[in-house]
Structure 1
Amino acid sequence: MPSPVLRPSTTASTVAGLLPILPKPPISNPNLPVNPNQETRQKLQRNLQNQLQFSRRDVAFISLISLFPSLLQPSEASAFSIGISGPKDWLKEQKRKSSMFLLAPIDASRESLRSAYILLIDKESTDSSKDLVEVQKLLKSAARDCVVQERNSFVAFQANTGVEVCTFRLIVKNASSLLEKKNPVKLEAEAMLDDLISSFTSLTSLANESDIQVASNRQRVADALKNTLTSLDKFEQGVKDCLEV
């Protein structure tokens, strides 16, 4: 009588079938335009509301995928039958495969920061007060609810009741969930997260307090924004290191 064939647990396929089809994350343009024209400004204004809506979807999405380890963990027999040494290795592979979606909110924040930078360096602008409002909205969107004083009342209520609302922190928790508590890669990613949140906090405060009608103040905010972009890039690399991608 032939020996029975061990098959993978149906849990993973069941959950995969329930997952929403997520949009392809935006592709970043590494070059910031130096002299945006009027058409570019109009495009930024049309896309502003879409940028601002992304944060809520971030939280819902990262909260969902943070459940994957418990939902997708196969049995030892299942892992053996598909040629993988154990469930932890299987889960690592699943995280690597879904990394583009996990990193999508970071890319969206980068695009918001670049849009704000374009507004700040636009020498043809004639309405600095309107520019300031749009820059502040873009910075709030880019911060992904990680700057405490910029949270709205609903998000603040969630935070006070123990619900994690910082999208960047949710990303780190998910990316490093298979690593030991004292793993140096995980600790480095958490340090980069703290640096990023500090950078966003300083940038937001500067943008709120500065009169960007003054050229020197406008440049100061633009310089702080570039520093935040650098911190965001380092944070993204820390997450990738946790995922081994």
Structure 2
Amino acid sequence: MPPPTLRLISSSPVSTVAGLSPFPPQQPISNQNLSVNPNQENRRKGQRHLQNQIQISRRDAAFLSLISLFPSLFQPSHASAFSIGISGPKDWLKEQKRKSSKFLLAPIDASRRSLRSAYLLLMDEESTNSNKDLEEVQKLLKSAARDCVVQERNSFVAFQANTGVEVCTFRLIVKNASSLLEDKNPVKLEAEAMLDDLISLFTSLNSLANETDIQVASSRQRVADALLDTITSLDKFEQGVKDCLKV
């Protein structure tokens, strides 16, 4: 067993023992090894900021996509809104719908472009108006109808429709745009009526294009007139959707 060690305890932190001077103060740590290159630090901060922005943007995009696909999941009850002057969840959802309106209206604009292309093809004086041109017109009309004409649906889409799954793009647009409105809201009812007129015109237009010989000038003009009527109806339908979104 080692002998006990004798320790001297000073009553004062600055006192000395046996005339010895106090311990020398600890030398400060040199900052030479701790210095950070300002350019490296700025790059690190910029990278962290960029990563945060990318994460936020991805979350926002994913959330808006979820709202667009499943609006019923985000439709709050009538009692959920605040009544103390603070905008409630329903007001917030309306704002999100307005911000994402260009994505919701994109299929309508694509259909309008297809209809205009078909019209220009019919009215092209240099065109031979052959069967190939007719096939191209029919293809453009089918694309513009967005699976809303029953006769033009393929077997898979028809199967979905028969099983109760909505496949008409225009009807899905109306449901999404008006999901925060009451069932009897006049703006919603007007948009639904415009949709019915639009689908009726698309149906007539497709039937006319399938039965008409576009090599005959008078028949070709009938299809062109029907195209213009459908474009006008599509414009009205788009405005009805915008009214639902209040944009």
TM-score normalised by structure 2 residue count: 0.70
Unaligned runs of 5+ in 2: 1-55
Distance in 2 of aligned mates of 1:66 and 1:154: 20
- The one-letter code matched in structure 1 to 2:112 is R
Using CA pairs under 8 Å that are at least 6 residues apart, name the structure with larger relative contact order, 1 or 2.
1
Residue of structure 2 equivalent to 1:207: 209
Distance in 1 of aligned mates of 2:223 and 2:143: 16
Residue of structure 1 equivalent to 2:35: none
**Given the alignment of the two structures, is residue 70 of structure 1 paired with residue 73 of structure 2, yes or no?**
yes
1:197-244: CA deviations, max 9, x gaps?
001001110000000000000000000000000000000000000000
CA RMSD in angstroms comes to 2.6
Residues 136 and 197 from structure 1, CA distance in 2 versus in 1: closer, same or farther, beyond 3 angstroms?
Answer: same
Identify, as 1 or 2, the structure richer in helix: 1
Residues 68 and 225 from structure 1, CA distance in 2 versus in 1: closer, same or farther, beyond 3 angstroms?
Answer: same
Residue of structure 1 equivalent to 2:182: 180
1:13-34: CA deviations, max 9, x gaps?
88535369xxxxxxxxxxxxxx
What does 1:71-150 align with in structure 2 at a 5 Å threshold?
71=74, 84-150=86-152
Match of 1:154 among 153, 156, 167: 156
Residues 69 and 91 from structure 1, CA distance in 2 versus in 1: closer, same or farther, beyond 3 angstroms?
Answer: farther
Checking the alignment, whether the CA contact within 8 Å between 2:209 and 2:223 is kept in structure 1 is yes
Q: CA deviation at 1:66?
A: 3.4
Distance in 1 of aligned mates of 2:86 and 2:92: 7
Checking the alignment, whether the CA contact within 8 Å between 1:15 and 1:71 is kept in structure 2 is no
Distance in 2 of aligned mates of 1:242 and 1:64: 16
Residues 72 and 182 from structure 1, CA distance in 2 versus in 1: closer, same or farther, beyond 3 angstroms?
Answer: closer
Checking the alignment, whether the CA contact within 8 Å between 1:84 and 1:90 is kept in structure 2 is no
Residue correspondences, number: 189
TM-score normalised by structure 1 residue count: 0.71
- The one-letter code matched in structure 2 to 1:18 is A
Q: CA deviation at 1:191?
A: 0.2
Distance in 2 of aligned mates of 1:182 and 1:139: 33
Unaligned runs of 5+ in 1: 1-11, 21-60
- The one-letter code matched in structure 2 to 1:167 is T
Match of 1:16 among 60, 64, 73: 60
Match of 2:168 among 146, 158, 166: 166
Checking the alignment, whether the CA contact within 8 Å between 2:67 and 2:74 is kept in structure 1 is no
- The one-letter code matched in structure 1 to 2:73 is S
Q: CA deviation at 1:128?
A: 1.6
Checking the alignment, whether the CA contact within 8 Å between 2:75 and 2:180 is kept in structure 1 is no
> Which of these two proteins has the greater Rg computed from alpha carbons?
2
